[in-house]
Structure 1
Amino acid sequence: MSLTMEQVIFFQTNGYLIAENVWTEDDLRPVIEEIERFVDERAQRFHREGRIANLYPDEPFERRFALLYEQCPEINRKFDIMHLLGPAMFRFLTDKKLLDIAECLLGSELSCNPIQHLRSKMPWKGEGEQAVSMDNVPWHQDAAVTSVESEASEIITFWLPLIDATKQTGCMEIIPHAFKGGYLRHQAEGGTTIVKELLPELPRITAECRKGGVVIMNKYTPHRGTSNRSDSVRWSLDLRYHKTGAPSGRDFHPSFVARSRSNPDSVLTDYEQWRRMWTDALAKPAQKAHRV
């Protein structure tokens, strides 16, 4: 699927775009089934260790992880792409529909950016808005988690919900047009967030997006998470792509060529090589990933 000219213009004008009905249930099933296997493997291990009592084996994808998390929040620790390193996820990183959309915005020489996440936003039953966390991030720009050396790099975020992302399940809020002001200074208090006095006073939109769709954002577009008020886990993928040859913004983690019209042989298709790249990178001492 390619974007229409109207969609490209909308993205370039507003700094974001919501494209619906890109992927079918069959398209997403391999990734979801792989996540389910990882959930079950971790649940079985925690059960053997006596850290959870009930495995809830018959609960659906949208609900099971929340019930396990209630028994032991530790089950969600490092439950992310770079730590799970599943073959279905690797294949999805070069999904044709995804790269067709990315090519409309970045051109035909595409690299998969190493800043990529699997998000599992848990239900929140407390009063008011959920506290700032990795699940409920404050107002920020994605550029804030990239190096200063990548300032000239065009890095675009592709955020894909694996269940419907609505006001109820916890979607994003976005400030359109604000990307035109470039990078805004961030601070580390309460999570990496835009300095309050610098947050643009522009109208905000609620970026609801159904499963099978994608929210695309410029790296300077301010956005934040909202609380998940449902009984389900709001699963999503946070993927990014940049032009091959440009700094990735996180050079101590591996990026790779995902599409190349000029040199197709440069595209990484070897899952084991990708896995080794990440394993080797994570074995080294951790480096600062955010600008603040």
Structure 2
Amino acid sequence: MALTLEQIIDFQTNGYVIVEDVLTEDDLGPVIREIERLIDERARAYHADGRITELHEDEPFERRFALLHAQCPDMNRGFDIMQLLGREMFAFLTNQRLLDIAECLLGRELSCNPIQHLRSKMPWKGEGEQSAGMENVPWHQDAAVTSPDSEASEMITFWLPLVDATKETGCMEIIPGAFKGGYLKHQAEGGTTIVKELLPSDPPITAECRKGGIVIMNKYTPHRGTSNRSDIVRWSLDLRYHKTGAASGRDFHPSFVARSASRPESVLGDYEVWRTLWKEALAKPAQKAHRV
């Protein structure tokens, strides 16, 4: 699937574009089933040591994790792509539908960026917005969590909901056109966030996106998460791609060639190699690439 000329112009003009109906159940199903299996394995381990009393085995993907998390918040600890290292997730990173779209914006030499996340936004019934954190990120630019040496790197974010992302379930808000101002200074307090005085005053849009669609963003596009007011978990993937040869913004974590017209043999298709690269990287002392 390729982007239309109109979609490319929208992206170049606004710093984002929402593309619906990109991915099918055949694309997303294996990833979701793998996540369900990993949830079940963790739940059974926690049940065995007494941290969980009810497994909620009959609950669907959209609800089970929240019920388990309510019993034991550790369910969500380290439950991310680079810790789980799932075989189906690795295969999905080079999904041809994703790469076809990335090629429309970056060209034919594509690398999968190591800054990638699986997010489970829990239902929130409190007053106001949920506090900032991995579940509800404040106003930021994705460039804020990259190293300065990647300033010139062309990098795009693919934000993919695994359930419908609506205003109720906690979709993103985006400030159109604000990417043209380049990088804005961020602060660490309150979660990595744009310094309040520098946040553009332009009105944000509500970036609703159905399962199977993608929100594509420029690395300088200001955006934030909003609270999930529904009764389900709002699952999503946050993936990035950059031009091969450019700095990834996090060189202490493994990026890899996902598509290459000039050197197809350089594409990484070996799951075990990818898994080993991540295990070796995470075994080293923690490093940070934040610009704050």
Letter in 1 for 2:129: E
TM-score, normalised on structure 2?
0.99
Check the 8 A contact 2:160/2:238 in 1, yes or no.
yes
Find the counterpart in structure 2 of residue 259 from structure 1.
Answer: 259
Find the counterpart in structure 2 of residue 157 from structure 1.
Answer: 157
- Runs of 5+ in structure 2 lacking a partner? none
Find the counterpart in structure 2 of residue 112 from structure 1.
Answer: 112
Letter in 2 for 1:165: A
Instruction: State the secondary structure of the residue aligned to 1:34.
Output: helix
Find the counterpart in structure 2 of residue 240 from structure 1.
Answer: 240
Check the 8 A contact 2:27/2:92 in 1, yes or no.
no
Shift of 1:26: 2.1
Moved over 6 A (4+): none
RMSD of aligned Cα (Å): 0.5
Shift of 1:128: 1.1
Shift of 1:189: 1.0
Find the counterpart in structure 1 of residue 223 from structure 2.
Answer: 223
* Deviations, residues 96-153 of structure 1 (Å, cap 9, x unaligned): 0000000000000000000000000000011111111111000000000000010000
Check the 8 A contact 2:157/2:239 in 1, yes or no.
yes
* Deviations, residues 197-233 of structure 1 (Å, cap 9, x unaligned): 0000112100000000000000000000000001100
* Deviations, residues 51-109 of structure 1 (Å, cap 9, x unaligned): 01000000000000000000011110010000000010000000000000000000000
Find the counterpart in structure 1 of residue 180 from structure 2.
Answer: 180
Identity of aligned residues (%): 79
Find the counterpart in structure 2 of residue 136 from structure 1.
Answer: 136
* Distance in 1 of aligned mates of 2:23 and 2:85: 22
Shift of 1:289: 3.0
Find the counterpart in structure 1 of residue 76 from structure 2.
Answer: 76
Are 2:32 and 1:10 equivalent residues in the alignment? Answer: no
* Distance in 1 of aligned mates of 2:47 and 2:290: 35
* Distance in 1 of aligned mates of 2:197 and 2:157: 25
* Distance in 2 of aligned mates of 1:287 and 1:115: 13
Find the counterpart in structure 2 of residue 87 from structure 1.
Answer: 87
Check the 8 A contact 2:171/2:207 in 1, yes or no.
yes
- Runs of 5+ in structure 1 lacking a partner? none
* Distance in 1 of aligned mates of 2:160 and 2:178: 22
* Distance in 1 of aligned mates of 2:265 and 2:136: 40
Find the counterpart in structure 2 of residue 125 from structure 1.
Answer: 125
Shift of 1:291: 1.5
Find the counterpart in structure 2 of residue 52 from structure 1.
Answer: 52
* Distance in 1 of aligned mates of 2:137 and 2:33: 27
TM-score, normalised on structure 1?
0.99
* Distance in 1 of aligned mates of 2:256 and 2:103: 15
* Distance in 1 of aligned mates of 2:135 and 2:152: 28
* Distance in 1 of aligned mates of 2:118 and 2:238: 6
Letter in 2 for 1:234: R
Instruction: State the secondary structure of the residue aligned to 1:57.
Output: coil
